[in-house]
Chains A and B, each alone.
Chain A
Amino acid sequence: MTVATPRELEPQLQEPLQPAGWLRYFSFSLDHKVIGLQYLVCGFFFYLVGGLLAGAIRTELATPLSDFMPRDTYNEVLTLHGTVMIFLWIVPVVNGAFGNYLIPFYVGARDMAFPRLNAVAFWMIPPAGLLLISSYFLAGAAAQSGWTAYPPLSLTTPAAGQIVWILSVLLLGGSSIFGAVNFIATVLKLRRPGLKLMQLPMYCWAMLGTSLLVVLSTPVLAGVLILLSFDIIAHTGFFNPALGGNVVVYQHLFWFYSHPAVYIMVLPAFGLVSEILPVHSRKPLFGYTTMVYSIMAIVFLGLIVWAHHMFTSGTPPWMRLFFTIATSFIAVPTGIKFFNWLATLWGGKIALNSAMLFSCGFILNFVFGGITGITLAQVPFDIHVHDTYYVVGHFHYIVYGGTVFVIFASLYHWYPKFTGRLLNEDLGRLHFVLTFIGFNLCFLPQHWLGLNGMPRRVAEYDPTFSTLNQVSSVGALIMAISTLPLLINVVVTALYGTPAGDNPWNALTPEWLTTSPPPVENWSGEAPLVTEPYGYGQHQPAGPSSHPLTPAA
């Protein structure tokens, strides 16, 4: 606290708001590290909620008949599952948690650009989440129209639950926008003197790109949901065909946000995995510059491909052609990143610890999800599998096999920084094996189910699909069990784990050049200037595999 930052020119703002010890995690703290961990723990709580909902779905689908719960309850469950997992677990954690914790370190700042806005953005999430879940109990019925809330379905299902859903998503969207404004300002305006943009760790670029997407697309979702709530409350007819409205306009505006939302969920994961791979393979990140341009290309292309979700919505031929080509183009920057990761690993001195296992699992799952994504961009194929389990399988390979694997990898990688203690490796590997097997067992069969015509979002199905559905449900059970070693590991390690020291991985990125856990203002002295965050194998004695394939970027 001997270090003056501009924020400290008004010190009275922070001091009374900071309770000591663990209580600060329940306070309106302005410390970016506290806020990051608040996001992480809050997100993980909602992950467990969403996981229970997923368990309910897979239990229902273990048998062809709708015998576990009533059909409308099933609709509520699948709606809440999707909304909770996307808006309360993946987006807040992969952006808010790791972004808030790491970005100030990476730019060499003592905090985010707007600490109070940051705290406000976090504290919008718990009420929004509780509001969403409580709609099941309070409003009589939760929303039943899926996380897409397509009209006219969302106009005919119980209105109170739908309105609560809209309110909750608007709050979460607002939180997301505030966070994004903060990230953009922090990366562009708060860099340590002397630190150039092209010297930033890759996660900064990923968060910059993601935040641009949030700023440009989330407000459109807010706008369309406001119009939808008008339709529900005031009986206007924006999206009600009976009143002269147009449902396809809703779809366009919805997907203008919700396709970029996939990149909002996965680009930060790209950034995180780009931080983890070089550390544990002791090699510079391959192709830094191409990585940066790929991220920006994905941001741009991500904004102009939304209608590939609407090939069955009467889209005119020119639109189909344009969106097929644009979507297929995304494979190029994504492929560049994929090969860069492989080249980073290539010839590296790889430590196959839990963080690395999850990262490699991510690469494997993500490339599979990417390939099924390319198939879905092709109009004839897409029309065949539209609204089937093929889409469900593809989507979960991206967001679970992709992003959630990276969240776990990041947890193992940065837990020593958060707490000063290493997570148990044996439990970590058990966690990985169970997650990897469970995940693939759960979602791989869904591709076959979809190709054979099993529709999504139904509580009952044709008995010919029952074998593969049972395999999928067993996979879901294994995934549920895989949470146990993680929970045990996190709780027990925090209390009794091996002390990690300040830099257990011998990493070069700035967050490791301070104590673990770091002091309130991040560094006791001046922020270090790290211009080569991936300079592995250069100033070290030559090992068996320290031959960098590329000069450090």
Chain B
Amino acid sequence: MTSISSSSAASAASGSTASASTTRTDSLLPEGSEHLASQESADAHHDARLFGLATFLVADGMTFAGFFAAYLTFRAVNPLPEGSTYELELLLPTINTVLLLVSSFTFHRAGQACRADQLSKARSWLLVTGGLGLAFLAGQMVEYFTLPFGLTDNLFASTFYALTGFHGLHVTLGAICIGIVALQTRPGGAISASSHFGLEAAELYWHFVDGIWVVLYGILYLL
């Protein structure tokens, strides 16, 4: 990381002012602040995208927080009609939870391999991660088709489908991203040990989606 940032700082500096340090602004810089300065600017340009993604994920998380708050309030104050129940089958969703947690781990291994310049190993881990994501989605589908209630049956059913469906959309998007990133790790692709923003972004997003699922599993299935 440090080698990347310093080199880019150097290139930015060399390009920026050919007749360097003759501008009046430079004279305003206190002596000895240059070291600090170049480091700051380098960090900025390399971190902003992941930082931006993290900010966006905070926003995305707030959407889920709104859904969770709605679900918990409904559950606390709105009685269900006679005969309906909050009980759900636990086995399949628990397997699904394990699949997602393992996929977070495998994605982490993919990231490690990529940073260690072992791209084919990274690709294998990515394919395992993507496979686990697809298995999760398949499990979700099986659950949807075997549940005894439909979208409009009662308030719990509607909230259940809205929450898991919205999360499922995120998993689908994540699986697509993993596929793209896996393609990019092929020789000559966009991802290499020195340039792997796409992989890091997908990894951050995937961990986020997994984290949301853990909360969702807790309040929908266990509570």
Task: List A residues at the B interface (Cβ < 8 Å).
Answer: 2-6, 8-9, 113-114, 117, 177, 180-182, 184-185, 188-194, 214-220, 222-224, 226-227, 230, 234-238, 243-246, 249, 252-253, 256, 525-529, 531
A252-B73 contact given A177-B59, A181-B52, CB 8 Å threshold = yes
* A193, B38: Cβ atoms closer than 8 Å: yes
* A234, B12: Cβ atoms closer than 8 Å: no
Q: How far does the Cβ of A44 sit from chain B's closest Cβ, in whole Å? A: 28
CA distance in complex: A159, B70 (Å): 23
Q: Which of A5, A190, A216, A246 contacts B48 (CB 8 A)?
A: A190
CA distance in complex: A8, B15 (Å): 10
Tell me the nearest residue of chain B to A240, going by C-beta.
B155
**Given A246-B78, A246-B155, A526-B25, 7 new contacts (CB under 8 A):** A3-B17, A177-B56, A185-B55, A193-B33, A193-B41, A220-B66, A238-B158
Most chain A beta-carbon neighbours within 10 Å: one of B58, B77, B81? B58
* B56, A529: Cβ atoms closer than 8 Å: no
CA distance in complex: A504, B43 (Å): 36
Q: Which residues of B contact A117 (CB under 8 A)?
A: 52
CA distance in complex: A403, B156 (Å): 42
Complex A-B: 16 CB contacts under 8 Å: A181-B56, A185-B48, A189-B43, A194-B36, A194-B40, A219-B59, A226-B166, A237-B155, A246-B155, A256-B66, A525-B25, A526-B16, A526-B17, A527-B25, A528-B24, A528-B25
Q: Which of A217, A244, A525 contacts B17 (CB 8 A)?
A: A525
* A216, B58: Cβ atoms closer than 8 Å: yes
* B52, A528: Cβ atoms closer than 8 Å: no
Q: How far does the Cβ of A442 sit from chain B's closest Cβ, in whole Å? A: 36
What 1/0 flags go to B139-171 for Cβ under 8 Å of A?
000000000000110110011001000100000
Q: Which residues of A contact B15 (CB under 8 A)?
A: 3-4, 8
Q: Which of A114, A226, A529 contacts B49 (CB 8 A)?
A: A114
Q: Which of B36, B45, B62 contacts A220 (CB 8 A)?
A: B62
CA distance in complex: A376, B110 (Å): 56
Q: Which residues of A contact B64 (CB under 8 A)?
A: 223
CA distance in complex: A2, B23 (Å): 14
Most chain B beta-carbon neighbours within 10 Å: one of A191, A217, A219, A246? A219
Q: Which residues of B contact A193 (CB under 8 A)?
A: 33-34, 36-38, 40-41
B214 contacts the other chain (CB 8 A): no
A6-B16 contact given A237-B155, A256-B66, A528-B28, CB 8 Å threshold = no
Q: How far does the Cβ of A199 sit from chain B's closest Cβ, in whole Å? A: 12
Q: How far does the Cβ of A176 sit from chain B's closest Cβ, in whole Å? A: 10
* CB proximity to A under 8 Å, residues B42-79: 43-45, 47-49, 51-52, 55-56, 58-67, 69-70, 73-74, 77-79
* A249, B74: Cβ atoms closer than 8 Å: yes
CA distance in complex: A485, B12 (Å): 47
B26 contacts the other chain (CB 8 A): yes
A236-B29 contact given A185-B51, A230-B158, A230-B162, CB 8 Å threshold = no
A227-B152 contact given A216-B62, A217-B62, A219-B60, CB 8 Å threshold = no
What 1/0 flags go to B70-109 for Cβ under 8 Å of A?
1001100111110000000000000000000000000000
Q: Which residues of A contact B151 (CB under 8 A)?
A: 234, 236
Q: How far does the Cβ of A191 sit from chain B's closest Cβ, in whole Å? A: 7
B2 contacts the other chain (CB 8 A): no
CA distance in complex: A4, B80 (Å): 63
Q: Which residues of A contact B51 (CB under 8 A)?
A: 185, 188-189
Q: Which residues of A contact B3 (CB under 8 A)?
A: none
Tell me the nearest residue of chain A to B72, going by C-beta.
A249
Most chain B beta-carbon neighbours within 10 Å: one of A4, A6, A114, A177? A6
Q: Which residues of A contact B48 (CB under 8 A)?
A: 113-114, 185, 189-190
Q: Which residues of B contact A224 (CB under 8 A)?
A: 66, 70
B18 contacts the other chain (CB 8 A): yes
* A5, B55: Cβ atoms closer than 8 Å: no
Q: How far does the Cβ of B149 sit from chain A's closest Cβ, in whole Å? A: 12
* B25, A215: Cβ atoms closer than 8 Å: no
A4-B11 contact given A194-B36, A219-B60, CB 8 Å threshold = yes
Q: How far does the Cβ of A261 sit from chain B's closest Cβ, in whole Å? A: 14
CA distance in complex: A185, B45 (Å): 10
CA distance in complex: A188, B154 (Å): 46
CA distance in complex: A222, B51 (Å): 22
* A243, B155: Cβ atoms closer than 8 Å: yes
CA distance in complex: A232, B191 (Å): 45
